[in-house]
Chain A
Amino acid sequence: MTDTTYRQALNDALRSELSRDENVLLIGEEIGLFEGSYKITAGLLDEFGPRRVLDTPIAEEGFVGAAVGSAMLGMRPVVEIMTLNFSLIAIDQIVNHAAKIHGMFGGQSSVPMVIRMPGGGGQQLAATHSQNLEVWYAHIPGLKVVAPSSPADAKALLIAAIRDDDPVIFLENLALYNTRGEVPDGDQVAEIGKASIAKEGKHLSVITYSRATTVALEVARQLEEEGISLEVVDLRSLRPLDRETICASVRKTSRAVVLEDDCLSYGIGAEISATLMEGAFDYLDAPVRRVAAAEIPLPYAKPLESAALPTAKDLIRVVRELLAATSFTR
């Protein structure tokens, strides 16, 4: 085990896969000389050269689509989109092409590519640069969508995504890059499509993913001191969604809160709630609660931005409300 940052874990995974497989290719804006806007690709141009670490013009539709075509010929491109917001410029290539080619052509060609991109608010980047949009991609058959919350998962899921023959949307979060954690030595390969129990507990399940998992874990630690035992389910994979792990947790705790960074309507929380209606209804002591962002283009001014985004305080309040509504006793 090594204590490292989420950023370094991603960098380690890329370096390791570039060394392992000569078909792995990094494509993106400013990933070479500039080492990436968030320095995820630091040092890789020096180590692997401009053929393996390919800087592109500002042309998301063009270079994401070029990655699709190169993957059809056997390359394994790992695309960095500078922020998730810019992926909307490439959405035709992601949704209409990368996601469709394997199935629509009768399984004749796979599209082994990864699109890495950071999302998330809270950085005072205003409305167009603070989105999450994970449900846009999680909605699309043909894609795989992962959103790791810890350095260990970031590394193991990125390695899994690169070795996977399907297009994988790899969602990072700006607020996670400097977070630290223990990462197993060597190349662990995570299983895409599996959630993890980030913390076991018995009174209430918090179902969450990406940055919000770190919030949920911190809240769980605080409430543990009061004798409230939260179970934290880290989805890790948004498509496929591990419904069984979610339902099994709630069947045990009988209470569920979904914590998500994106806005509420039609969100991940809505999907989880519907899943629990189907798979844990008889076990629920109260309706599922959702804690999500306010539905407004995210403002720049700090007091407004902070008011719009879900916080640990919001989660604690909702947990207490739900416990009170279900006559919780320690």
Chain B
Amino acid sequence: MSEMKITILCCHYTNQATAEDFAGIPAKIEVKRYPCSGKIEVADILRALEDDAEGVLVAGCEKSSCHNRSGSQRAEKRTAAAQKILEEIGMEPERVQMAFVPRLETGVLVEATKRLFETLLDLKSKEGTSS
């Protein structure tokens, strides 16, 4: 079975997590950093899925501490827009999740990634039973 790929699209300020931090998650973790999570577009999320990610985590600062005031709230709305498109094409919207992460607290980001990983495992097992 090929390794599951998860793409994290996140704010540059949110974290400095490295591959070592994600070592406990048995998946290929790709991190793409943006100047602000408000810069992450719906198309970026969809393209990550196109590029074989099974799930995408959008991570931005906590709502009260966004460097650009409302960037992470914008990211939350774009995540919802991407989820709606996934529904339209028959994909599970929970493949895309939003996480608000305290600045530089890598542990919170890793936990959110683990939750997404577990969601994706769950989806995979359902696929297995329905086919």
Verify that A and B bind, or say they do not. Answer: no
